Structure 1
Amino acid sequence: MAAAGSRAGRAPGHGPSIGNMADHILIVGAGLAGAGAAVELRERGFDGDIELIGAEAHAPYIRPPLSKGYLAGTDERASFEVKPAGWYAEHGIRFVPDATVTALDTAARSVTLASGDTLGYDKLLLATGSTPRPLPVPGGELAGVHLLRTVDQADALHAALADGGRRVVLIGSGWIGMEVAATARTLGNEVTVLMRGAVPLHSQLGPELGADFARLHIENGVVLRADVSASEVVGVGAR
């Protein structure tokens, strides 16, 4: 067993080694939380087996740039990876991409993947995060309706917005919606935001700060429609 701090990259004062509290730790979810946990385990001296299961084909990355710099085309893909892709293998972490857990058996200490494979564990960490809600109205499945959570979705949205001159409607005025609105406007598109409340970010910031954000977006050419909900999306194809 390696001594505490014997692995490269452990920062001074980073805390005591956790030792081998288990032989095999399985982490389901390869976002910032899951990948960060794997990194922290190694940096604190855990030298047992670590498996990191991710639903996407990409190495773990940080999501906030997807609605800002990466969507705008100014941030490189590598700039928001949790670690370079080769880091996991170099540190003895088995990263399993493009895999979805479909069943959990706590008695047998195992999970089943969509592929049918079964993985055992001594300790299990669930770090699956959240998923965006599809628009539950007629037309919500049309090709021109985008969701944004993954880098692939950001790539598709960037391709639609990058040349400017499009009319864009954002349904929802939380952080991601308003960030996408600002980015789409910066890229030269006409942008309208449909809000259920009176101001954007009302539930996060309250009415006063929400009003400040509203003024900022209006000054930059974003149209805000307050107290409305979408009931249907009408269109043909992706436009």
Structure 2
Amino acid sequence: MQAKGQAALVTGAASGLGAQTARALVEAGARVTLLDIDEPALHALAEELGRGAAQAVRCDITDAAGVEAALDAGARAHGTARILINCAGIGGAKRLVDRDGNAMPQDAFARIVNVNLLGTFNVVRLAAARMTQAEPMDDGERGVIVCTASVAAFDGQIGQAAYAASKGGLVSLTLPLARDLAQFGVRVVTIAPGLFLTPLLYALPQEVQQSLAASIPFPKRLGKPEEFAALALHVVGNVALNGEVIRLDGALRMPPR
């Protein structure tokens, strides 16, 4: 599917990977609905991209009614979205048992899984239901869904039990979702990025950023959001990519800590 002329949704669009992917989609000619809970940043991006090409909609991906309302707003502005890029997510590190012998609180685990796994699934299920009702294109394709996991799904570090589990869930969902939706001509692909220069890493001291970059075999630098966006657009345009998880990490394999 070519992005030009298509309606698209991007979650987590206010910053980082989501914002850069939204920019790339607009540059490719798509009309994008930007979803996030950070309203000021979201509206600033919509102004940057142009109101005709992008609209900002505040949306908590864990709230079904809120997602339905956001999808309605996107459909009114741009038509049924055939492209969904899921970038919304949260981080957090906590050991299973801390140095004082205290168990990790259950709600600390549930919070991350609720946003990263259940929230993403919530958006996917509701957007996919609409995609399946769209008219098929010449090759039978109706839509494409891209999810964002992490190398932590495979190489979870100490303190990453919740984060790794949430991203591992997205990895495991990819093939069954692709198989579920194949009959409708809707594809599902997941990207598992490594260490990328996002707002979270920007906040770290320069020497810490350099240390992290040195752990990457090649290229020996942090990933650029533009590289994630380029891969997401390639997935959109390559109809043979389906049911696959793609590591985007410079051959990085994370150590225990």
* TM-score after normalising by structure 2: 0.29
Greater share of helix: 2
Greater CA radius of gyration, 1 or 2? 1
More relative contact order in 1 or in 2 (CA 8 Å, sep 6+)?
Answer: 2
